[in-house]
């Protein structure tokens, strides 16, 4: 799905991945799902306002230490990626971010607050916050916390979820051939149930969990993944065929 990396990630795209001469795409057997192998900072093939839900897990911030490094990561996410998300998202659509905090040896950085503040400055409003505690945790500190942040475009109102958004689940098994871990299916399914009906977009597709769950719940979906090797893993997992 929108996955977090098992190694040290960055939102910076390397040149050979960001500027491919030939853009590759895959399509599902029922034609309701499509995977695009490209840089997700621009999505000209997706019509304005055509996506009901964006559900994604950006590469987790793990490089650098301290607040300045985290703020740079969040600023890049809000200005280079989320602007295009605002364009393709329907007026009352949901943006869900699954994002992990990091302990730098001294304190939690509080990345949920940094994300909420920066996104507020760029036209979003935080409508709900949830937590997924990885248990048992694979990190060196106990109960790794992953935030689930629900944003809408500024000025849109919504009804808060009836139940607390809390999960205590282990990290899913790494899909065969994947470099990146994913979010548990149950969490993805629960978040989609809380969201408006319609097409789902995951701009950091990873091994394809969002597409897999969306398809199982009858939704159409679009995934965007910049790494060709990881895209092939997702294509095999979801039984997609390459478009000519």
CATH of the domain at 150: 3.40.50.150
Structure tokens that stand for 107 in this block: 């304190």
- pLDDT exceeds 90 at position 13: no
Q: What's the pTM?
A: 0.90
Quick check: is 241 in a domain? no
Give the mean pLDDT of 176-194. 91
pLDDT at 179: 79
Q: Could you tell me the strand order of the sheet in which 166-169 lies? A: 166-169, 124-134, 144-153, 89-100, 51-56, 200-202, 221-225, 33-37, 24-27, 241-242
- pLDDT exceeds 50 at position 6: no
pLDDT at 104: 63
Quick check: is 10 in a domain? yes
- pLDDT exceeds 50 at position 198: yes
Quick check: is 244 in a domain? no
Quick check: is 138 in a domain? yes
Segment 93-143, tens digit of pLDDT: 999 999 988 766 567 788 899 999 999 999 999 999 999 988 877 665 555
Mean pLDDT of all residues in the chain?
87
Give the mean pLDDT of 75-102. 94
Q: What domain range includes position 203? A: 4-223
- pLDDT exceeds 70 at position 18: no
Give the count of domains, the chain.
Answer: 1
- pLDDT exceeds 70 at position 48: yes
């Amino acid at each position: 799905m929108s996955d977090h990396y098992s190694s040290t990630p960055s939102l910076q795209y390397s040149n050979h991945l960001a500027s491919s001469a030939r853009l590759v795409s895959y399509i599902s057997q029922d034609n309701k799902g499509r995977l695009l192998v490209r840089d997700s900072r621009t999505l000209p093939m997706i019509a304005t306002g055509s996506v009901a839900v964006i559900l994604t897990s950006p590469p987790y911030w793990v490089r650098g230490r301290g607040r300045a490094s985290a703020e740079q990561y969040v600023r890049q996410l809000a200005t280079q990626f989320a602007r295009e998300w605002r364009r393709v998202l329907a007026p009352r659509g949901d943006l869900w971010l699954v994002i992990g905090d990091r302990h730098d040896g001294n304190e939690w950085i509080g990345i949920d607050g940094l994300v909420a503040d920066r996104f507020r400055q760029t036209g979003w409003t935080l409508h709900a916050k949830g937590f997924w505690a990885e248990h048992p945790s694979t990190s060196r500190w106990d109960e790794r916390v992953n935030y689930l942040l629900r944003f809408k475009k500024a000025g849109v109102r919504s009804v808060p979820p009836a139940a607390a958004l809390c999960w205590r689940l282990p990290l899913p098994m790494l899909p065969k051939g994947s470099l990146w871990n994913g979010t548990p299916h149950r969490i993805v399914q629960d978040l989609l149930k809380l969201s408006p009906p319609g097409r789902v977009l995951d701009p950091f597709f990873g091994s394809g969990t969002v597409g897999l769950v969306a398809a199982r719940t009858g939704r159409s979906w679009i995934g965007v993944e910049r790494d060709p090797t990881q895209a092939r893993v997702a294509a095999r997992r979801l039984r997609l065929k390459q478009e000519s």
